[in-house]
Chains A and B, each alone.
Chain A
């Protein structure tokens, strides 16, 4: 069975601070896919990034960056210079390579205080 753990339930930061959201996963598959989604207060789910298990290259997109480490089964998400608009619930998700099941973490609620 696959599992995704987001141990941080809620995080509060002051605007312009950096913040890292942790994601730890478990899977027996050698090929798998990891995702991050954002759910702002309006409720929709917005795709942020995907990563394949065979590509450990980290990625940066503007103020967002992702650190994928297979050795620790982690796929952490960092927001640099946070802004109020970053306030949302962030979900990490895992899709196994041999299956079409998708497992989400329980989410981390980020509050950015002006």
Chain B
């Protein structure tokens, strides 16, 4: 089954404790992206990646890191999480060809930073 898998689905942690949210897709998509969803703000793009070793900032990259060492994986790293990073996070992937491919989204990861 074609899917984007995020782990964990839920996480409660404390300020300053490094964490990683994993994202994996099995569709051989070149493009992958991370978003955060906050009430009243919609989805905002954090980082995106066009392909292996190619990443770029979205609109809200501060406090986050990403890496793309393999095509299927695109982990989101919070080196020193803070309460303002409490949010619902989505990973997405798509084909690059034509630039108009719709994104396939994971089920979301709800992070609470205390």
Contacts and interface: CB of A to CB of B under 8 A. Distances in A.
A104 B41 CA distance: 9
Given A52-B100, A95-B100, A104 B43 contact: yes
Contacts of B31: 100
Interface residues of B, number: 27
A95 B99 contact: yes
A105 B42 contact: yes
Interface stretch (B12-20, B66-74, B79-87, B102-110): B102-110
A45 interface: yes
A104 B102 contact: no
A107 B100 contact: no
Interface in B44-75: 44-45, 48, 50, 56, 58-59
A35 interface: yes
Contacts of B33: 102
A100 B50 contact: yes
B113 to A, nearest CB: 20
Interface of B: 31, 33, 35, 40-45, 48, 50, 56, 58-59, 88, 90, 92, 96, 99-105, 107-108
Given A31-B99, A43-B88, A101-B58, 15 more contacts: A35-B103, A43-B107, A43-B108, A44-B107, A45-B105, A47-B102, A47-B103, A50-B100, A95-B100, A100-B31, A101-B45, A101-B48, A102-B48, A105-B42, A106-B40
